[in-house]
Amino acid sequence: MTASRWLHCFRPVARPRRTLLCFPYAGAGAALFRDWHLAAGPEDEILAVRLPGRENRIAEPALTEVAAAVPFVLDALEQRLGEDGRPLILFGHSLGAALAYATARALIGQGRPPRLLAVSGRRAPHLPLRRPPTSGMDEGEFRRQLHALGGTPPEVLDCAELMELMLPLLRADFTMSDRFSEPEPAPLPIPLVAFAGVEDSEVMVSEVAGWERLAGAGFALHRLAGNHFFVNEHRRAIVETLLGPIP
């Protein structure tokens, strides 16, 4: 089993029967998925993607394009999974959904399609961004946007030292997220599952439902209570949905 700075596993599994690869939302790291294995079976491996600019990669410059991350994720997956053929499930929330989708598209292009793509709290790639891009916001506007989303604790927003550390990373991640779009995406030849927060003011349920256009082999939409960060409240339900019985 090859270690990688791009992938982290909080509970090693000797002989995994399948792998769930998780991509975090803007500003988050692999630690977002630290406890997800508690809802998984003993033979289910959960890997978390760790992007540059956070956790033990804090000294590395953060990326601003989804396409810049995908080749490194593919290389890390190749090193870890090799040719064992186990089912691979991709999950991402918000920015992570764009990264998961781009990774799925690249794997399909290589002839190694994942078993399932799961997207959460993210508009379909052909739909436009409803709010102004954060790249045009000054610091005050950007902080107000963070406060409105609700994912950054008030004590962090109010701490000048923490925000000085976090703002470059958050700016880069939001830029990466805002820039990602595909006006005319072709359907994927794999099943697609989407999760939407019914009180999410950033992404409407109808925008998440738009992923059905890309689902060439089956689609399911799950509406969950909560705001844009509903993923933190419903991680057990999400894991159990994704790691149900293998067909």
Let me know how many helices (H) and strands (E) the chain has, helices first. 8, 7
In the residue annotation, 93 being an active-site residue is answered as: no
| Token pair of 50 as six digits | 């760790």
In the residue annotation, 94 being an active-site residue is answered as: yes
Region of residue 244 (phi > 0: left; psi between -120 and 50: alpha; otherwise: beta): beta
- Candidates 8, 93, 228, 234; catalytic one: 228
Strand order in the sheet with 44-49: 7-9, 44-49, 18-23, 88-93, 116-120, 192-197, 219-224
Beta carbons of 142 and 135 less than 8 angstroms apart: no
Q: What is the DSSP letter of 63?
A: P
Spatial CB neighbours of 245, under 8 Å, sequence gap ≥ 6: none
- Candidates 4, 37, 93, 94; catalytic one: 94
Q: Catalogue the active-site residues.
A: 94, 228
